[in-house]
């Protein structure tokens, strides 16, 4: 029995390792289920769209139950300038998977062009850096006795990797569409052993869109999507369908082409405070060994201009 249990544990660990490699090299940037309210994290043109000082915090815990499972914490801040066409922002993302740690800090800038009285087009730029740390010697490898793997030797300690991103975002009160490349530069790193090197920051492209349909005075329907592409990997697409009740309560469901489905909800407490939650379930082989993916979001707006509260933001 002990031997069977040991083999089972080895198999599970190997499965998690392979899944981690797929997540790290297939899609390196963080993935969000509540992307429609967290657009600034990957598209700088979104900064300033709230027309108020806004703060958004999000925590994502993936594969709950696995030791060393991926966790992502995101903080974004945005504010319009006196020139209403200019928006500024800050994005901070802390991403960890096992021993691997990333901390990205980026400043966001956007400029708005009026297409019509109701439609605006914003162009955005983000610039900043990423701190990266990965102690390769700390990994437990399953290799023949006495064998080594040059990919898992040494310590990668990149304290400053500069980068920049670009984006475009078109929106009105009830629809949005955007395209962005959060990191344009493709940074490489070396572990200092046997001249082994690999790509760390690969170029991702993101396309998003959504539309709000008013079904009645009390119910609104919003379909949306988020498609991500990186060279050498398949396109991963999120499709979401959400309903808004009485302008106070969102509830929806999503499907992701990466073998995932889930549900999301958001409470609009008042015109300033929102609380959101999403849960995803993976249908791959590791689904029976974890308790899903959980994502919690909170946003707060500081609007110093007194105005009558009419309807909430839809994205």
Give yes or no for a contact between 168 and 182, defined as CB atoms under 8 angstroms apart. no
- The CATH architecture one would assign to domain 28-136+154-302 is Beta Barrel (2.40)
Give the E-state strand segments of 33-174 in sequence order. Answer: 53-61, 71-80, 86-97, 100-114, 120-135, 155-171
Q: Structural domain boundaries of the chain?
A: 28-136+154-302
DSSP 206: E
Give yes or no for a contact between 255 and 280, defined as CB atoms under 8 angstroms apart. no
Residue (of 205, 245, 199) closest to 222 by Cα position: 245
DSSP 290: S
Give yes or no for a contact between 9 and 17, defined as CB atoms under 8 angstroms apart. no
Rg (Cα) of the chain, in Å, rounded?
Answer: 21
Q: How far apart are CA 238 and CA 229, in angstroms?
A: 12
Element (H, E) at 20: helix 2-26
Burial class of residue 159 in the structure, from the number of CB atoms within 10 Å of its CB (0-12 exposed, 13-18 middle, 19+ buried)? exposed
Q: How far apart are CA 21 and CA 35, in angstroms?
A: 23
pLDDT in tens, the chain (315 residues): 433 333 333 343 333 433 443 333 445 688 899 999 999 999 999 999 998 999 999 999 987 777 778 899 999 999 998 888 999 999 999 999 888 889 999 999 999 999 999 999 999 999 999 998 877 666 676 666 666 666 666 667 777 889 999 999 999 999 999 999 999 998 776 655 554 455 567 789 999 999 999 999 999 999 999 999 988 889 999 999 999 999 999 999 999 997 899 999 999 999 899 999 999 998 877 666 667 899 999 999 997 655 545 568 899
* CB-based burial, 289-310: b 16+ in 10 Å, e otherwise: ebebbbbebebebeeeeeeeee
First to last CA, the chain: 53
Q: Note the pTM of the prediction, 2 decimals.
A: 0.84
DSSP 46: G
């Amino acid at each position: 029995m002990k031997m069977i249990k040991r083999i089972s544990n080895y198999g599970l660990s190997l499965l998690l390792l392979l899944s981690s490699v797929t997540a790290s090299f297939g899609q390196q940037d963080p993935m969000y289920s509540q992307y429609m309210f967290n657009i600034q994290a990957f598209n700088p043109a979104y900064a300033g769209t709230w027309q108020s000082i806004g703060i958004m915090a999000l925590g994502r815990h993936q594969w709950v139950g696995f030791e060393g499972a991926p966790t992502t914490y995101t903080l974004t801040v945005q504010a319009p300038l006196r020139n209403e066409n200019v928006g500024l922002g800050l994005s901070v993302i802390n991403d960890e998977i096992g021993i691997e740690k990333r901390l990205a800090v980026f400043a966001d800038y956007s400029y708005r062009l009026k297409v019509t009285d109701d439609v605006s087009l914003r162009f955005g730029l983000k610039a900043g850096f990423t701190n990266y740390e990965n102690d390769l010697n700390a990994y437990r490898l399953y290799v023949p006795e006495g064998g080594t793997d040059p990919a898992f030797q040494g310590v990668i300690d990149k304290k400053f990797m500069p980068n920049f991103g670009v984006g475009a975002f078109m929106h009105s009160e009830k629809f949005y569409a955007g395209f962005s490349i959060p990191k344009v530069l493709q940074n490489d790193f070396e572990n200092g052993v046997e001249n082994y090197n690999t790509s760390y920051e690969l170029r991702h492209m993101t396309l998003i869109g959504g539309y709000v349909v008013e079904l009645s005075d009390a119910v609104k329907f919003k379909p949306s999507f988020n498609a991500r592409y990186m060279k050498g990997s398949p396109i991963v697409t999120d499709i979401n369908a959400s309903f808004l009740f009485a302008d106070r309560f969102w509830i929806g469901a999503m499907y992701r082409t990466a073998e995932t489905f889930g549900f999301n909800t958001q409470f609009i407490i008042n015109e300033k405070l929102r609380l959101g939650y999403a849960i995803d379930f993976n249908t791959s082989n590791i689904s029976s060994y974890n308790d899903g993916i959980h994502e919690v979001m909170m946003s707060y707006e500081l609007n110093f201009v007194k105005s009558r509260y009419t309807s909430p933001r839809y994205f």
